[in-house]
Amino acid sequence: MVQKYDCTHCGHTTTITLPSSILFNLFVGISGIAVFIYGCLKNKAFFILLSSDILSTLAAVFLGFLFTLYVFGSSIVSIIAFLDKPVPEEILKKIFTAAQLAPSNCNVQPWQVYVVSGSQKDALKDKLTEALMSGNPPNPDFDWGIRYEGIHRDRQFESANVLYGSMGIERSDKESRMTALIRNWTFFDAPHVLFFTMEKYLNIMGAVDMGIYAQTLTLLMSEKGIGRCFQGALGQFPDPVKAFLNIPDGRGILFGMSFGYADEKAVVNTARTGRVPIDTSVVFSG
Ligand SMILES: Cc1cc2nc3c(=O)[nH]c(=O)nc-3n(C[C@H](O)[C@H](O)[C@H](O)COP(=O)(O)O)c2cc1C
């Protein structure tokens, strides 16, 4: 079932799909409560007969709500506030093993990814923020210098407004925006950061494969309740990262990603961007 809700930040209407099992549980629950009331009104014997069913019905409703919480709690929106709780190594190994099955053109599997955690991550954070504060301009390995036009520019502005709106930052407040932006290079205090790299010569063909791999990886993560934020920002100052991780010269950092368990209490994690309706993006023919 598709349901609409109005995004409180951007005012856009977003559609969400309710899994049918939740609806089923709710249906069973509401029917059960109706039968319960009917039984009470009619006579006590009927009520006693039904009471065990009522319990199982209430249990079904409870499970339905738990399932709802699970589905929405592990949704795949960007997360930028994390708990100080590393993901256990065996879970990481399982996720990365499954992500190896991502498809790629001619099965070339161009992804070379670096996961940095713990004290190594903190040391890298210091190197990156040093590079950022040095005042040198970004020198990404790939062409990130795009200037969005038309509707793309509108959507870019809107997503920034949603994000900064969730932090209570006005459009005119450049200083607070900059402070929020800098959090990209401190990995939003996530317990892990990941760099997606590939051979530079692969260009657009490699980038397509990398995107598919990255989304496969993060869907697997969300299944395990792990949140993440993709970050083009982490490809902007590649030199200190490449030196720190011994990444060969022929290879480039396409983008990065901070990840870990979401801080459910953080208001910034409630920012919700809208999506255009499918008839804007999809043509069904035939
Ligand atoms: C390739 C890519 C690069 C991104 N770079 C950044 C970034 O540098 N910093 C950031 O905060 N979000 C970044 N994002 C997150 C997007 O802004 C976000 O996915 C988009 O606004 C939609 O919001 P949602 O992920 O919450 O649905 C990036 C996303 C992608 C796919």
Assess whether the C-beta atom of 187 lies below 6 angstroms from ligand 1. no
Report whether 73 contacts 225 (CB < 8 A). Answer: yes
Report the pLDDT value the prediction gives residue 247, as an integer from 0 to 100.
Answer: 98
> Whose alpha carbon is nearest atom 30 of ligand 1?
230
79 in a domain, yes or no?
no
Q: Which H or E element spans position 89? A: helix 89-99
Assess whether the C-beta atom of 273 lies below 6 angstroms from ligand 1. yes
Assess whether the C-beta atom of 230 lies below 6 angstroms from ligand 1. yes
Pocket test for ligand 1, best of 7, 16, 78 (most atoms within 8 A of CB): 78
> Whose alpha carbon is nearest atom 23 of ligand 1?
273
Assess whether the C-beta atom of 229 lies below 6 angstroms from ligand 1. yes
81 in a domain, yes or no?
no
82 in a domain, yes or no?
no
Assess whether the C-beta atom of 117 lies below 6 angstroms from ligand 1. no
- C-alpha–C-alpha distance, residues 286 and 280, integer Å: 18
Assess whether the C-beta atom of 211 lies below 6 angstroms from ligand 1. no
Report the pLDDT value the prediction gives residue 207, as an integer from 0 to 100.
Answer: 97
For residue 147, give the 3-state DSSP assignment.
coil
Assess whether the C-beta atom of 232 lies below 6 angstroms from ligand 1. yes
**Token pair listed for 224:** 């395990």
172 and 271 co-located in one domain:
yes
pLDDT tens-digit profile, the chain (286 residues): 333 333 333 333 333 333 444 455 556 556 656 655 665 566 555 554 455 566 665 666 566 555 545 544 446 899 999 999 999 999 999 999 999 999 999 999 999 999 999 999 999 999 999 999 999 999 999 998 899 999 999 999 999 999 999 999 998 999 999 999 999 999 999 999 999 999 999 999 999 999 999 999 999 999 999 999 999 999 999 999 999 999 999 999 999 999 999 999 999 999 999 999 999 999 999 9
> Whose alpha carbon is nearest atom 7 of ligand 1?
231
Domain coverage including residue 122: 89-281
Contacts of 239 (CB under 8 A, 6+ apart): 131, 139
pTM score? 0.78
113 and 225 co-located in one domain:
yes
Report the pLDDT value the prediction gives residue 17, as an integer from 0 to 100.
Answer: 36
220 and 179 co-located in one domain:
yes
For residue 172, give the 3-state DSSP assignment.
coil
215 and 137 co-located in one domain:
yes
Report the pLDDT value the prediction gives residue 76, as an integer from 0 to 100.
Answer: 87
Assess whether the C-beta atom of 159 lies below 6 angstroms from ligand 1. yes
Closest Cα partner for 110 from 200, 218, 20, 180?
Answer: 200
In terms of C-beta density within 10 A (0-12 exposed, 13-18 middle, 19 or more buried), how is residue 197 classed?
Answer: buried
In terms of C-beta density within 10 A (0-12 exposed, 13-18 middle, 19 or more buried), how is residue 215 classed?
Answer: middle
Token look-up 């599997």 returns 109
143 and 66 co-located in one domain:
no
Assess whether the C-beta atom of 233 lies below 6 angstroms from ligand 1. yes
What's the total number of domains in the chain? 2
137 and 170 co-located in one domain:
yes
55 and 193 co-located in one domain:
no
For the CA of 159, the nearest atom of ligand 1 = 21
214 in a domain, yes or no?
yes
- C-alpha–C-alpha distance, residues 149 and 147, integer Å: 6
In the reported structure, the alpha carbon of residue 74 is separated from the centroid of ligand 1 by a whole-number distance in angstroms of 17
Report the pLDDT value the prediction gives residue 255, as an integer from 0 to 100.
Answer: 98
For residue 77, give the 3-state DSSP assignment.
coil
Pocket test for ligand 1, best of 218, 230, 234 (most atoms within 8 A of CB): 230
Out of 73, 97, 132, a domain closes at: 73
- C-alpha–C-alpha distance, residues 268 and 166, integer Å: 5
Report the pLDDT value the prediction gives residue 23, as an integer from 0 to 100.
Answer: 53
Q: Could you tell me where the beta strands, DSSP code E, fall in 25-95?
A: none
In the reported structure, the alpha carbon of residue 48 is separated from the centroid of ligand 1 by a whole-number distance in angstroms of 56
Say what angle helices 118-133 and 238-245 make with each other, to 10 degrees. Answer: 150
For the CA of 188, the nearest atom of ligand 1 = 11
> Whose alpha carbon is nearest atom 12 of ligand 1?
231
Q: Which H or E element spans position 258? A: strand 251-260
Q: What CATH number does residue 270 fall under?
A: 3.40.109.10
